[in-house]
A and B are shown apart, each in its own frame.
Chain A
Amino acid sequence: MIEHDPKLNVLAPIEIRPRLDRLERLVRRSGGGRMTRAEALGLAGLALLAAAGCGGKTSTGGGGGASSSGAADPLAGKPIESNLVIYNWSQYDDPSTYKSFKTQNHVAIKETYYSSNDELLAKLQAGGTGYDIIVPSQNAVGELVQLGSLMKLDKALIPNASAVESSWVKTAYDPTGDYKVVKDFGVTMFFYNNTIVTEKPTTMKQFYDLLPKYGRVGRTNLMDGAEEVVPLALMALGYDPNTGDPAELDKAKNFLLSIRSGVTTIDSSNYINDASAGKIILGQGWNGDVRRIISARKKQGDITAVLPQDTSEKWADNWCIPATAPDPVAAHAWINHLCDPAVAVTEMEYHNYPIPIQAALDQTPAELKNDPLFNVPTSYTDHYKFILNPSQEIVNARTQIYTAFQSA
C-alpha cells in the first residue's frame, strides 16, 4: 500500500526507486571482492538514504482524498478478518467491550498503546504501521484527512453510526463526515478554590486575569502543549483559535508572557491528583477531569467549576481507520459495535465522557446525564470551538510562542 502511494513515502518516492536500485548495484560493484556481504548491504543502505535525500522530490502533504476512495463500495460483501489491531490510549475502553466484540465477531484483538497524538501522527506519517483502528483527536483527524492517511468509512458497514447526533457527523475537522465516528467529546474549562479566590470569574479571560494575583498565593495550572496554550489564549482575547494572523498571534504571545509569572505549572496529566488533594487553587482542566476533582473535594466543597460563559475549546476523540489498515472489515465492525447504544452506555460509565448518541445518553445513570460537567449543555458547546492544525505555519508559530512562554 505504502509503496504505491508516493504521498506517504517521505523519504523515497516510488519514482526514484530504479535510481536507488542502480545505486545499490553500483555500490556492490565498486565494493568488489573486498567487501563482505554485510558491508555491501550497509553501504547500500546508506546510499539508499543519501539517494533518497538528494532525490529533490517534494512529498506534498496537501490535497485530500484517501487512497481507498476509488470504488463505490470496495468492502461490500467481504468477509470479516480474524484479527483486529487497535492503537489506543490505555484504559480508555471498558474491558467488557472487548469481550463482547470478541464473542460476537470471533475476532482476535491486539491492542497497542500510545501516550500522545504526536506519537500517533509520527507513526502514521512514517508509514508501515499495521493498525486497523486509531483514536486521534480532532486536530489530528483534520491533518490525517489532509494527508490522505485515513480510509473513507463505509457507512453501510456501520449501521449503528446513524444514531450519532448530526452535529457530530459533519464537523469542522471532517467536513464530509466520511473519515471518523466520534468516540467521545469534552470541553476545556476552569476551576478555582472558592475559599481563596473571592472573585467569581465566569469567562476564560477573567480566569487568565486572576493568574498573576493568585500565582503568588498558591499553585495555578494551565493545560500543556502549544496546541492548548496558544489557541486558548487567542480565544480568551476574542480571536479565532485557529487564526494565522501574525498580529493576533503576537497579541496572544504578549498576553501570555504578561501572565506568565502567575502560572506555577503547565501540565495536563498530573493536575487531577494534585487538584484532588486541594493543591491547585486556580487552574484549567478538561470537564471529565474536573468532575473527578469536584467529587474528590466533595467533603471540603472548596472547588468551584466553571464552564466559561462566552467561549472555550471543545474537543473530540474519534474512531478512524488508517488507509493502510490490514483488517478494514473488522475495523468497521469494531466501530459499529462501539456505536451500539448498550455498549455506548457501559463505555460512558467506564470513561465518564459523553458519546453523542442520544439513545445511549438517555440510558446513562442520572448522576451522569444530569451533570452539566458530563453532559455539557449545548448552550455552551454551540459557542465553543475546535482547535485545529490549519496549516504548518500556524502550528510552527504556536510552537514558538509556547517555547517562549515555557522558558520565560
Chain B
Amino acid sequence: MPSAGTPRRSRHRFGKRMFTGWAVLVYLVLYLPIVVVVIFAFNQPTSVPQGASPCSVDPSRMGNVTVWNGGTTCWFHTALNDPTYVPAVKTSFWIAFRASLIATVLGTAAALSLARMKKRWRVPFDVLVYLTLVVPEIVIAVASLIFFVQAHNNLSIFPTLGESTILLGQIVFSASLVMLIVRARFVGMGSSLEEASFDLGGGPIATFRQVTLPRLLPAVIAGALLSFTFSFDDYVLPAFTNGTVNTWPIVVYSAVRFGVTPAVNALATVMLVVTVTLILITGLVLRRSGASDLTGAPPPTIP
C-alpha cells in the first residue's frame, strides 16, 4: 500500500474534502449572524405614522426591531449622518490601528529575544505576560482609570483621560497577545538558519530581516490582526479610560437602554462592505503584481 502513489493521493483528496467541508460549514456559521445584522439594517419600526419616514420614529416608539417589520434603506442615510456614529468609528479605527502597530513591535521584539533566553530570565517574564491575560478586564479597567487619574495628577507627563489612555491601556493586552502567538510559532522552529546567518557575519538586523521575519510572518500577521480586532471591538477598558471620547463600542452599548436602532446595523454593514472591498482589492493587486501569498508560506509538499 505505501509503495503506490494513488491510494495516498486519494486519501489526501478525501481528507481535503472532509476538512474543506468542515471549514465551509464553520464559515457559514461564522457569517450567519453577520447576515442577520445586514438584513436587519433594512428593518422598519413596528409602526410608522402615515407619511413619515421610518427612520424619523423616536427610539421610544420604535416597537420591536428584532422581528422583521418590512424594508427600508433610510437607516444608511441616518447612520452616515449621525453626529456621533462615524466620528466614533474613526476614533476606534485609529486607536486600534496604533494599538496593533505598537503592540506588534513590542510583542515581536520581546518574543525574539525571549524565545532563546535563559530560563531564569524568561520564566518571570512569561509569568508577567500571562498575568496580563488573567486579570479580569473589568477590574483592570477600573484600576487603570484610577492609575491614569493619579498618574496625571502627580506626574504631568502622563496624559489626561482620552484617546491616549485608551490606547495605552489596550496595548498591554495586545502586546501579550502578539508575544504569545509569535512565540508559539518560534518554539521548536529550530535556530539553524539564524545560526548560519549569525556565523556568516549577519548582524541581528540583517538576520531578522532576511531570515527570521519571513518565517515568523504568519504569526506576526495573526498577532497584529487579533490585536486590531481586540482594540476595535473592546468595550470595557475604553468605557472607563475614555474621558470624554466616544468609541464605536461605547456608542453601541449605551444605546441598549433605549433600544439599539437599525442605524447601528446599517453602519456595521457599511463597515463590513468597506473592509471586504479593501481586502479583495488588496488581494487582486497582489495577484497582479505576481507577489506570492502574504504569509510567505511554503508551497505544499504534496506532489
Contacts and interface: CB of A to CB of B under 8 A. Distances in A.
* A–B contact at 8 Å CB threshold (below): yes
B58 A349 contact: yes
Contacts of A17: 154
A115 B154 contact: no
B246 interface: yes
Contacts of B256: 115, 269-270
B240 A113 contact: no
B160 A91 contact: no
A292 B157 contact: no
Nearest to B160: A128
Interface of A: 2-3, 9-12, 17, 20, 41, 44-45, 48-49, 52, 85, 87, 89-92, 94, 110-115, 119, 122-123, 126-131, 269-270, 272-273, 276-277, 288, 292, 295-296, 349-352
B154 A12 contact: yes
A114 B254 contact: yes
Contacts of B161: 128-130
Interface stretch (B143-151, B186-194, B289-297): B143-151
Given A126-B146, A352-B60, A277 B67 contact: yes
A94 to B, nearest CB: 8
B254 A126 contact: no
Given A87-B244, A122-B145, A296-B46, 9 more contacts: A2-B153, A45-B155, A48-B151, A52-B150, A90-B251, A91-B259, A113-B246, A113-B250, A352-B58
Per DSSP, chain A at the interface is mixed
Given A41-B155, A128-B160, A273-B66, A90 B60 contact: no
A349 B59 CA distance: 11
Interface of B: 46-47, 58-61, 63-67, 84, 142, 145-155, 157, 160-161, 239-240, 242-246, 250-251, 253-259, 261
A12 B150 contact: yes
Contacts of B142: 122, 126
B164 to A, nearest CB: 14
B244 A292 contact: no
Contacts of A350: 58, 60
A141 B300 CA distance: 66
Contact of A119 (B64, B152, B240): B240
Contacts of A349: 58
Nearest to B239: A119
Given A127-B149, A350-B60, A90 B255 contact: yes
A295 B63 contact: yes
Contact of A11 (B66, B146, B152): B146
A11 B149 CA distance: 10
Could you say which of A87, A272, A288 has the most chain B C-beta atoms within 10 Å of its C-beta?
A272
Contacts of B84: 90, 111, 113
Nearest to A119: B239
A371 to B, nearest CB: 13
Contacts of A351: 58, 60, 258
Contacts of A128: 148-149, 152-153, 160-161, 243
A3 B150 contact: no
B81 to A, nearest CB: 11
28 contacts: A9-B150, A11-B150, A12-B153, A20-B154, A41-B157, A87-B244, A89-B257, A90-B84, A90-B251, A91-B255, A92-B257, A112-B246, A113-B246, A113-B251, A113-B253, A115-B256, A122-B240, A127-B149, A128-B148, A128-B149, A130-B160, A130-B244, A269-B256, A272-B64, A272-B259, A276-B63, A296-B64, A352-B61
A122 to B, nearest CB: 5
A111 B254 CA distance: 12
B258 A277 contact: no
Nearest to A272: B259
Nearest to B64: A276
A90 B258 contact: yes
A10 B146 contact: yes
Nearest to A122: B142
Given A113-B250, A113-B254, A115-B256, A277 B244 contact: no
A96 to B, nearest CB: 11
A217 B18 CA distance: 43
B240 A123 contact: yes
A112 B258 contact: no
Contacts of B149: 2, 126-128
Nearest to A2: B153
A93 to B, nearest CB: 10
Nearest to B141: A122
Contacts of A92: 257-258
B257 A277 contact: no
A276 B46 contact: yes
Contacts of B250: 112-115
Contact of B239 (A9, A115, A130, A292): A115
Contacts of A112: 242-246, 250
